[in-house]
Amino acid sequence: MVDLSKHNPNDVSNPNNNIFGLPTNEDNARLIILPIPWEVTVSYGVGTARAPDAIFKASMQVDLYDPQTPDAWKQGFFMRHPDRKILIKSDYLRKEAELYIDYISKGEDLNANQFMQKTLRDVNEGGEYLNNWVYEQTKAILDKGKLVGLLGGDHSTPLGYFRAIAEKKGEFGILQIDAHCDLREGYEGFNYSHASIMYNALREIPQLQNIVQAGVRDFGSDEWEYIRNSNYRVTTYFDKDIKHRQYSGQTWMQIADEIVSKLPHQVYISFDIDGLDRKLCPHTGTPVPGGFELEEVFFLLGKVLESGRTIIGFDLVEVGVSDSDWNANVGARVLFKLCNLLVSSNPIAS
């Protein structure tokens, strides 16, 4: 592991260093951040594919002192360069998907258009390609004894990581921070849509015990029926219900403790940034009014750590990119917190 004892966390960050200005490399860092520049199936705003680069740049402004986990950064975080081939493939398939979405949104018959049928096949094959690529990349990192954080891109990106970490760690649960349930089956015809990530995870990952969702405020009747019939494999804390409980006198600490109690011992954190109030992420792909303050989510994640549960991995997705660096600034601070929690939850054996 890297020796960061001589690194001054109070100096200005050196942009020639790695994420958060840390002088790390992949071999000596304990936690590897895998960027996934992919947003093929997004159904509203775009820009998330280029979030990793923007977050990397913004990370140079993040102070390394976190009172909750003050020395976690000393274990070393390293972010890979986004894979150029994945970005190019995403850009190409995104244009194809836009044509297809426009076509079906007008009520046109898919069976009457062979070009659109081919487009749908290409996008679905692209999703399978990405899932396998992410699986292979994350499995190789895990096999080296490293911790892994995934940085999207849209919310379809972590499925391959779910597969890899399930094989490595066994049974686990997901704590999902999100404005959406993401429980749609083949949304818009895309098998691996950003709106289907949790449906696909529950269908394809037998080691996934349950998902606990927090902050949801935009969902379909099909998703509500899925939750109702899931036999508690999905537990959803809707944003409106959380707020109504608080208006009635309950504290966020009481609600957070209840949320954590629904999770098994091993917890994966899936953080869609649109779970936050839109003022914190104005250019996320599918913004929805309402949502959490950042400190509310950090409090909840801290409760997971305090409970003695083990955080085994995380993803941060749906950070939009615009002319302003505000989205990346918030994203970088979320990423730093997630990195700190992951290494702190996995102490090095003495």
Residue 255 dihedral angles phi and psi, to the nearest 5°:
-70, -40
Residue whose entry in the numeric block shows the structure tokens 């954190």: 269
Residue pair 339/149 in contact (Cβ under 8 Å)? The answer is yes
| Cβ burial, residue 112 (10 Å; 0-12/13-18/19+) | exposed
Within a 13 Å sphere around the CA of 271, how many CA atoms are in the beta-carbon half? 29
Question: pLDDT digit string (tens) for 224-271?
Answer: 999 999 999 999 999 999 999 999 999 999 999 999 999 999 999 999
Bridging pattern class, strands 208-216 and 234-238:
parallel
Amino acid at 317: V
Structural domains of the chain, with CATH: 19-344 (3.40.800.10)
How far is it, in rounded angstroms, from Cα 170 to Cα 108? 44
E strands along 124-181, which residues?
A: 147-152, 172-177
Cis-peptide, bond into residue 153, ω within 30° of zero? yes
How far is it, in rounded angstroms, from Cα 175 to Cα 260? 8
Bridging pattern class, strands 147-152 and 31-36:
parallel
Residue 175: strand pairing partners: 212, 269
Q: What is the pLDDT of residue 38?
A: 96
Which pairs count as long-range contacts for 228-231, CB under 8 Å and 24+ apart, including other chains? Answer: 230/202
How far is it, in rounded angstroms, from Cα 265 to Cα 22? 31
| DSSP structure string for 200-255 | HHHHH-TTEEEEEEEEE-B--HHHHHHHHTSTTSEEEEEHHHHHHHHHTT--HHHH
Task: Give the chain's residues under pLDDT 70.
Answer: 1, 350
Cβ contacts of residue 184 below 8 Å, gap of 6+? Answer: 193, 195, 196, 199, 220, 222, 223
Which of these, 35, 146, 142, 20, lies nearest to 80 by C-alpha position? Answer: 35
Q: What is the pLDDT of residue 350?
A: 64
Q: What is the DSSP letter of 111?
A: G
Amino acid at 191: N
E strands along the chain, which residues?
A: 31-36, 77-79, 147-152, 172-177, 208-216, 234-238, 266-272, 310-317
Residue pair 325/63 in contact (Cβ under 8 Å)? The answer is no
Question: pLDDT digit string (tens) for 141-196?
Answer: 999 999 999 999 999 999 999 999 999 999 999 999 999 999 999 888 999 999 99
